[in-house]
Amino acid sequence: MDILSKISDLKNPPLIVAELSGNHGGDLSKAFRLVESAIESGADAIKLQTYKPDTITVEGRDDRFLLNSGLWKGRYLYDLYKEAMTPWEWHKPLADRAEELGSFLFSSPFDESAVQFLESTLDPIIHKIASFELNHFPLLEKIGETKKVVFASVGVSNIEEIDQALETLKASGCPQVVLLHCVSEYPADARDFNLASMIELKKRFGDFVGLSDHSPGHTIAVASTALGARVIEKHFTLDRNDNSIDGAFSMLPNEFKNLVDEVKTAHIAMGDSQFYHLKKELKGANFKRSILVSSSIKKGEILSCHNIRVARPGDGLCPSLWRHALGCVAKKDMEVGYPISLNDFTE
């Protein structure tokens, strides 16, 4: 698949990605069901996260490694990542299943060894960079060297940091980066999104922008579509049980399908920005006003407010010529309702 062609063709709705994360709960059969259900619910692509506890943190046990707020409060980083990781040997069979169903799978690598693994095992068409990894410059260089399209979440980065990351990726060989606006809270609150900043991202960095969405529901995703998002990433789950580690801010299959439908509707509704320039006659224009005959007129009679009127339908002379028409001489007989034109009178 030429992913850039799909994203750049504005006739296509945004690419919708189902992020599985650790919602498989360590059960491979459930991971397969997640892939199948996400595609059935309308996902264009499936995304995993590729790491091991030792490639993302160290087994520290002081308070710096202890989460003290949010969904995973009280968990040590190492323990959380050990539970949430997707075993690397699952990647290929899950990718094969996605391909069988007409979709594709890619991942977020969290270190250089994960990039090497993904390249040698899956040869994905995209690499995703997670928000917290945008300053992992050895990782960025390794990803850039693959010369693959990159989706990069920018939730915890400022303009200067985004600039530096893009420079590193492109200098290393990356052909295209799609910046995903993101609020790195789990779940994220709508009041924190500042979606208007997507316009600034596109203006400053050009090309394409998207959304990595951890909020409940589909409202934020639909709004981002109206702002030009070409990629929307949303966490997907089969349930919200304890072993679905991101279940609290993930979408169930029916919710995800609703998101897909609403995003597509929003995309269709966006239409063409040149609408008012391209349309000479807009739908419903016949209900506008025009100059019509209101009382029978004989040839040679003077047009006045007693025999012509600005009325519906709109198939007569434009009302902007009302004063021009008054006092002119009829060139022919005209019955009530007749739509006057410039050819029907002389000054």
Q: Which two tokens stand for residue 196?
A: 């208007």
How far apart (Å, rounded) are the C-alpha atoms in residues 216 and 234? 10
What are the beta bridge partners of residue 15? 231
Compute CA distances 242 → 26, 75, 113, whole Å. Answer: 12, 14, 30
Lowest mean pLDDT among 20-24, 281-285, 331-335: 281-285
30 within 8 A of 24, measured Cβ to Cβ: yes
Q: What are 39-67's pLDDT values in tens digits?
A: 999 999 999 999 999 999 999 999 898 88
pLDDT mean over 183-197 = 89
Tell me the average pLDDT of the chain: 93
* CA gap 110, 258 in Å, rounded: 31
How buried is residue 246: exposed, middle or buried, by Cβ count under 10 Å (0-12/13-18/19+)? Answer: buried
Residue % of the chain over a pLDDT of 90? 80
Q: Is it the case that residue 280 has pLDDT exceeding 60?
A: no
Half-sphere exposure of 40 (CA within 13 A, CB side): 12
**Cα 219 to Cα 39, 212, 213, 287, 314, distances in angstroms:** 21, 13, 10, 35, 39
The residue type found at 218 is: H
Alpha-carbon Rg for the chain, nearest whole angstrom, is 29
- pLDDT exceeds 60 at position 29: yes
d(CA 280, CA 185): 48
pLDDT above 60 (res 131): yes
Q: Which fold has domain 285-346?
A: Type Iii Antifreeze Protein Isoform Hplc 12 (3.90.1210)
Work out the pLDDT band at 202, boundaries 50, 70, 90: very high
The closest alpha carbon to 121, from 102, 82, 81, 93, belongs to 93
Helix axis angle, 137-145 to 159-171, nearest 10°: 40
Cα separation, 224 vs 43, in Å, equals: 17
- The residue extents of the domains of the chain are 3-271, 285-346
Which is more confident, 171 or 185? 171
Q: Which two tokens stand for residue 205?
A: 């960095």
Which pLDDT belongs to residue 80? 86
User: By C-alpha distance, which of 138, 117, 139, 120 is closest to 128?
Assistant: 139
CATH code for residues 3-271: 3.20.20.70
